[in-house]
Amino acid sequence: MSKVSIARAELEDAEILADISKRAFDSDVEVGAPSAGGPPGYDSVEHHRRVIQMTSFDYLKVLFDGKIVGATSVQKITDSHYEIFNVFIDPNYHRQGIGTQSFELIKVKYPQAKKWTLDTPVWNTRTKAYYEQLGFRQYGIFRWVPTFELRGYELLLDPEYEDN
């Protein structure tokens, strides 16, 4: 049986992660993106190297049978509130449960998290279905620029959770 794992990304992973990120985000044209592209630096090896070295969040690679197939970033907002962003899985590995298994591993890695938040483009039908399947609930829509809207999602692991 194939095994999914997560580990902190290392500098030598940057080239592989940049390639997977580019292919993953560019594949969003299949699920509503107006054109190929992704978040700033998504396709830059140097950007991925800088992100790996940052200490304000954890850049985690997703492995499938020991092979890097994606990544996500986790940021601590408060002691019990964490945010995930820039989630991507190699398009060759989509629809195999790897994203779902990797998020379960992330929840185990951060047992103190009672609330998870994230955002995803409104047009992205794939991520909408994925996050809702994981139990996230949409709490709003944000417009940072006039032509780009994001769905805000949260997942409360403790029903009595209150923001600090």
- CATH classification of the domain holding 16: 3.40.630.30
Nearest CA to 20 out of 83, 63, 58 is that of 63
Give the pLDDT band of residue 112 (cuts 50, 70, 90). Answer: very high
Asked if residue 63 is part of any domain, the answer here is: yes
Q: What is the pLDDT of residues 35-63, one digit of tens each?
A: 777 787 889 999 999 999 999 999 999 99
Q: What is the pLDDT of residues 8-42, one digit of tens each?
A: 999 999 999 999 999 998 887 777 777 777 787 88
pLDDT of 164 > 70? The answer is no
Asked if residue 161 is part of any domain, the answer here is: no
User: CA 107, CA 113: separation in Å to the nearest integer?
Assistant: 7
Q: How far is CA 113 from CA 74, 80, 109, 117, in A?
A: 11, 4, 9, 10
User: CA 89, CA 70: separation in Å to the nearest integer?
Assistant: 4
Calculate the average pLDDT of the chain.
91
pLDDT of 122 > 90? The answer is no
pLDDT of 126 > 70? The answer is yes
How many domains in the chain? 1
Nearest CA to 57 out of 83, 38, 89, 87 is that of 83
Q: % helix / strand / coil in the chain, to the nearest 5?
A: 35, 35, 35
**pLDDT at position 147, please?**
76
pLDDT of 162 > 80? The answer is no
pLDDT of 161 > 80? The answer is no
- Note down the domain range covering 136: 4-156
Asked if residue 164 is part of any domain, the answer here is: no
For the entire predicted model, the pTM comes to: 0.90
Asked if residue 119 is part of any domain, the answer here is: yes
Q: Which residues contact 153 (CB under 8 A, 6 or more apart)?
A: 117, 118, 119, 120, 131, 136, 137, 138, 139
